[in-house]
Chain A
Amino acid sequence: MSHTNDETRPSSRRSPATRYAIRMGIGIALYVVTLFAALSLQSAGIGTWQPMLLTLPSVAVLAWSIIAFYRESDEFAQRQLGESFIIGFAVGVPLLLVAGLLEMFGGPHLNWMIAFGVMMTGWLIGSIVSSIRYR
């Protein structure tokens, strides 16, 4: 009956938040490096979109950093994280659906990148709501 996920918690004395920041930093650094490598390959005439596949491993690192943060946190932090994800999802997905439907019926064309901003804003709102709830 483990409630703190001790079996998955490394022996490091760093907090889950610190480990998350380190892993996320590594993922972002890897993304920037592979992005520049992909752009260099493109400008050298090697492939069109294919060099961008080089950035995929960094996406896996970024996803792992978030999942590991959840797993290594204690049960209360997991509750707060879970709630913030749910709120973010509940806010972000309908907004993207509405934007997509509007576009289908003559609305303005939006860049895919806006989806990232919407989902991250939803997560931020969820984090704020969750932290206020348990203050």
Chain B
Amino acid sequence: MRNDVKARRAERRWSQAELGERLGVSRQTIIAIESGKYDPSLPLAFKLAAVFEVRIEDLFTPTPTE
């Protein structure tokens, strides 16, 4: 799963720790999501979309194999 979390966070000039605080998760979790090493759960993905005020499908894109 690809995602635009890093780009959208950069647009808002939020640090990884700041985004993590808004979502109630650790900075390590944000790092893992941004690097694509970890796909968040559906509730966290919805929360990410809400924080960035976008639809979930605008934030996450399935890779061809998924």
Query: Which residues from chain A contact B43 at a C-beta distance below 8 Å?
Result: 1-3
Partner of B38, one of A2, A3, A134: A134
Query: Which residues from chain A contact B25 at a C-beta distance below 8 Å?
Result: 3-4, 74-76
Query: Which residues from chain B contact A2 at a C-beta distance below 8 Å?
Result: 43
B29, B40, B44: residue with the most chain A Cβ atoms closer than 10 Å: B29
| CB within 8 Å of A: which B27-51 residues | 28-29, 32-33, 37-38, 40-44, 46-47
> Which residues of B line the A interface, CB within 8 A?
23-26, 28-29, 32-33, 37-38, 40-44, 46-47
User: Secondary structure at chain B's binding surface: helix, strand, loop or mixed?
Assistant: helix
- B37 and A4 contacting across the interface, CB-CB below 8 Å: no
Query: Which residues from chain B contact A74 at a C-beta distance below 8 Å?
Result: 24-26, 29
Query: Which residues from chain A contact B29 at a C-beta distance below 8 Å?
Result: 74-77
Partner of B26, one of A3, A77, A133, A135: A77
Task: Using A3-B24, A76-B32 as known contacts, list a sample of 15 further A-B pairs with CB atoms less than 8 Å apart, ordered by residue number in A.
Answer: A1-B42, A1-B43, A1-B46, A3-B40, A3-B41, A3-B43, A3-B47, A4-B24, A4-B44, A75-B25, A75-B44, A76-B25, A76-B26, A76-B40, A79-B38
